[in-house]
Amino acid sequence: MKIKSYNLKKFANLLEQLLFTYSTNRKIEILATYLKSLDYKEKGITIAVLTGNLNFKNIKRSNILNIIKSKLDWYLFEQSYDYVGDLAETIALIWPSNGNSKQKDLNKIVYDLKNSKSINNTIIEYLNSFSSKERWAFIKFILGGLRIGFSTSLVKKSLAKYGNKQLYKIENIWNGLEYPYENLFLWLENKGSYPSIDASKTFNSFMLATSFDEELIEDVKSSNDYYFEYKWDGIRVQLVAKNGSTTIFSRSGEDISNSFPEIKINCTELLVLDGEMLVGQNYSPLPFNQLQKRINKKKPSKKLLSELPAFVKVYDILYCNGKDIRNRTLYDRRKKLEEWFLNNSNTNLNISELINFKTDNELKKVYQKFSYIEGIMIKKKLSFYLSGRKKGYWFKWKKDPKYIDTILMYAQRGHGKRSSFYSDYTLGIWSKNTVIPIAKAYSGYTDDELNKIDRFIRKNTIAKYGPVREVKKSLVIELAFDSAQISSRHKSGIALRFPRVSRIRWDKPVNDVQSIEEIKKELSIYHS
């Protein structure tokens, strides 16, 4: 049943539902059902907002801050924002309400915001006409960055459910679609053909690996049916090139080409490569924390491009000379990839080498040697390139995690279902006679452990800084991490890769925790 007006109140209710629904499947169901009540233009607005693709180029965060300075007590705002931690929620709470909420059509709001000659005044008028919940949704609506626990990936899954379509078909065309997405919805509703997009904008769903059972190593290593490769510690990318244009897709299908402008492939026919984005000179990978300096940089500086040049370790080829070869075996694709590298020189691409070994010891040395690899990939030579995580074809054999004991220093409330708990932790180690931060951890504990830690934090708080609590330094938490590198950006001088809570050491005194000096001595184990 179609509603008469697609107002902000209805949209605010959707955002609130998604925020406070913890089940992923239920979130998908909520959006899929919600879309059925809208017309095509309204569906397009909803999808664009949820995916961050409804951009108001004339509205910046500075516009909102200038409005606050002109209309509200700035000290009150700062104190409230420090405590609440969310700009939209803060404005929603402290903006004076006249008690006369006026329902505004969302299509009209979009038109007014995009065409306003005095954008600040337009925003003020709207804020004055909304209820608190509507103001919250409005600020999120115009600034993006919803923070409601609903990613673009979930939007795609909701669309697949809405139209009863296969997810990979949506993923393959997603980056070629544009707001208001009418051709997408016509196809989803079986009223139109499959959307046609520019081939250079086509994202092909990645083939993924399953975890390797170490007990099977004897069977695998003695067989000639598998390739062994490094599992590079970078970010998975797909390179799509045609007619001199190169698009770089992340694992989620996001176009990240602007962050890595040096990655260019000159070819006429469609070429699609699968590989790992890394940074470093002469194809020598630097630790992941160096790559992080390049990620999400929409326009990297000349200095950054010079100091941290990007390159891709390529390990598969999906399209070659315009032909789809995913239905050929990995053995054939590897030969085709090697052939392509022989005929094409590119300073920013490097073929991912295969690992040759004769004994178990040789393999184990390879496995543990370098900080810039996460482990080993084991791939069946006769495997086709199949979207998703298919069992029995590709395996990832990751390094065992490392462990250190740390001391709980600070805690902050979480988001979503954890918003009532202190679930985000800053953890430290000894440096002479003081405790300094070494990592933050947000995961790894059970619900029962979370309850116990939360009670400990509330009982042992010694200071409050807005939403953050400083606690008595008396609780030891064992931290698991994948690797460690020297880092000038961190106070401890060490950056830990994927830190997570391993155990709560209620039994261990804090004086038994290692010092930073001791940990740095052990870094050679994790550092190439």
The answer to whether 399 and 367 have CB atoms below 8 angstroms apart is yes
For the chain, give the mean pLDDT. 87
The pLDDT tens digits for 292-347 are: 889 878 889 999 999 999 999 999 999 999 999 999 999 999 999 999 999 988 77
Q: What is the pTM of this model?
A: 0.64
What are the backbone angles phi and psi of residue 413, rounded to the nearest 5°? -65, 150
Assigned fold of 207-398: D-amino Acid Aminotransferase; Chain A, domain 1 (3.30.470)
| Encoded tokens for 78 | 């700062």
Within the chain, which residue ranges are assigned CATH 3.30.470.30? 207-398
Q: Taking the CA atoms of the chain, what radius of gyration do you get in angstroms?
A: 26
- pLDDT > 90? residue 259: yes
Within the chain, which residue ranges are assigned CATH 2.40.50.140? 402-525
- pLDDT > 50? residue 208: yes
**pLDDT computed for residue 411 by the predictor:** 92
**Between helices 132-143 and 8-20, what is the axis angle to 10°?**
80
86-91's contacts with Cβ under 8 Å and 24+ in sequence apart are 86/147, 87/61, 87/139, 87/143, 88/135, 88/136, 88/137, 88/138, 88/139, 88/140, 88/143, 89/136, 91/64, 91/127, 91/135, 91/136, 91/139
The answer to whether 64 and 139 have CB atoms below 8 angstroms apart is yes
Q: How many helices and strands in the chain, by DSSP H and E?
A: 19, 21
Count of CB atoms within 10 A of residue 46's CB? 23
**pLDDT computed for residue 1 by the predictor:** 36
The pLDDT tens digits for 391-433 are: 889 998 877 778 889 999 999 887 666 767 888 999 999 888 8
Superfamily the domain 402-525 falls into: Nucleic acid-binding proteins (2.40.50.140)
Integer Cα distance of 267 and 389 in angstroms: 30
Integer Cα distance of 161 and 387 in angstroms: 18
- pLDDT > 90? residue 471: yes
The pLDDT tens digits for 501-523 are: 988 988 788 888 888 888 877 65
